[in-house]
Amino acid sequence: MIGDVVMAGITETVPLTRRDRPVARWSRLLRKRPLLGAALSVGELSVGVALGRGRSRLGRGVGILLVIDALADLAILAIRLLRR
């Protein structure tokens, strides 16, 4: 079940009556346009690397989390593209 939610995205957690909400619309948009999703993930990765090189401990921590999230997003995107 958790694997299905991870692969399907946030739209799996949105109730059917709330599918017109902005979060669900953005999720559908990114799923329909994989290049846009990849561009956002690469941007997130670059921001994470930039923050990770900073002096602040908080900035480094947030940067590391952004890098991990971006890599996970890119891996999920690659799997989705292979399944098409």
Q: Where are the domains of the chain?
A: 1-32, 34-84
pLDDT (tens digit, 9 = 90+) per residue, 66-84? 999 899 889 988 888 888 7
pLDDT (tens digit, 9 = 90+) per residue, 26-62? 877 888 888 888 998 999 999 999 999 989 999 999 9
State pTM to two decimals: 0.72
Contact, 19 vs 27, CB < 8 A? no
